[in-house]
Amino acid sequence: MDQSLADFLEHNAETIIADAVEFARTIDVGRTLDDVTLRDHLPEIIASVVADLRRPQTRSEEIEKSEGRAVPVAGAPISAAGTHALHRALSGYSISNLVAEYRALRASVLRKWMEVPERAARAPGEITRFNEAIDEAITESVRHYADEVERWRNLFLGVLGHDLRSPLTAILLTSESIARSVAGQPVERAAQRLVRSTEHMCDLLDKLLVYNRAQMGIAFEIRREPVDLGVACAEEIEHLRSSFPMASIRFDAEGDLQGRFDAARIREVLDNLVVNADKYGTRGEEIQVRLRGDGGKVHLSVRNAGQAIPREKLEVLFEPLIRGAVVASSDEEERTSLGLGLFIVSEIVKAHGGRIHAESDDGFTAFHIELPRH
């Protein structure tokens, strides 16, 4: 009697699942898992493959599946393959272990099906459909596994950052106290180095927490208040000039610069861009900062001379953990940079409802920011 592959899977489901459980038992995850955990959602996965084999499929659907472009239905409940991936992630399986399970499941089914040669010769299309269904399940499982790992990583970073904040603050306050108490003594330089190092650690932690919140979909927090950006930015420029006495910083402000902004955050943006210009621009060349009020918007630009940033790096300049303009450096602070500075700049601008873009050509690099006044 002729039997379709779907019927074969349905009638031999328990044997196939037993083989899959036996294979899963060979995977070392550091602890012993019981049969219920190993069995997990395998019956549902087999059932979904059977349903897929019996479902009519158009030529275009076949091509989309074969090319991995089948789009999940929006709002649909998580599939058995997705749930299986989440459980395996929590059970200690690696993503390669997860894929190996599907590979073993596929091999087990095809081996049993091929025991009767007439089956393969009669319905080669069913084998193709079966392989597509397994590949689709693998794709969905890997996606859900990766999402779960990313979720736990973000939770870990959030907890770590929160727990590190208090001891770092205590270290900073203590080191500042020590530096004041040894002023004028031989150990003062060492005490100041301790203060600077702790401040650098706090800065790295702050940037990491901003990145973490963005990854978890939490908007960057700003406090809007009526402010004259011309005054705020002029104060920041004076601070930068004293911090970088060798840098030539030109500041021009014009037009109405009043509006509702988070002045401290805008100063942070300006500081980051000017420091970036000083670090990567041509030494001795002027850094040009311009602030201009125009209608309902305020425009801020920072321009410096220097080697052009390649287009491929310019396109990812504001992506987190990518230092698009960074060149090899022996500077300790540079080597420990997380590459989050420009990412945070873009987050601050977006939180204000503004836009930022960079351009680099003809020996100059410029960052342009547009901020709505209200």
Distances (CA, A) of 161 to 202, 212, 214, 222, 306: 10, 9, 14, 20, 36
Supply the pLDDT for residue 330: 42
- Is 220 part of a structural domain of the chain? no
Supply the pLDDT for residue 300: 97
139 and 164 assigned to the same domain: no
State mean pLDDT over 355-360. 94
150 and 9 assigned to the same domain: yes
267 and 318 assigned to the same domain: yes
Question: Which range among 93-102, 118-127, 159-168 has the greatest average pLDDT?
Answer: 93-102
Domain count, the chain: 3
Half-sphere exposure of 229 (CA within 13 A, CB side): 34
Supply the pLDDT for residue 10: 92
Supply the pLDDT for residue 314: 84
Half-sphere exposure of 242 (CA within 13 A, CB side): 5
pLDDT confidence tier of residue 322, bands split at 50, 70 and 90: low
* Distance of alpha carbon 45 from alpha carbon 47, whole angstroms: 5
Q: Which range among 6-10, 90-94, 141-145 shows the weakest confidence by mean pLDDT? A: 90-94
pLDDT confidence tier of residue 252, bands split at 50, 70 and 90: very high
Among candidate residues 138, 154, 170, the one where a domain is terminated: 154
* pLDDT digit string, tens, across residues 253-305: 999 999 999 999 999 999 999 999 998 899 989 999 999 999 899 999 999 99
Question: Which range among 21-25, 187-191, 204-208, 369-373 has the greatest average pLDDT?
Answer: 369-373
Among candidate residues 215, 246, 261, the one where a domain is terminated: 215
pLDDT confidence tier of residue 58, bands split at 50, 70 and 90: confident
171 and 145 assigned to the same domain: no
pLDDT confidence tier of residue 216, bands split at 50, 70 and 90: low
**250 close to 240: Cβ distance less than 8 angstroms:** no
125 and 202 assigned to the same domain: no
Supply the pLDDT for residue 79: 86
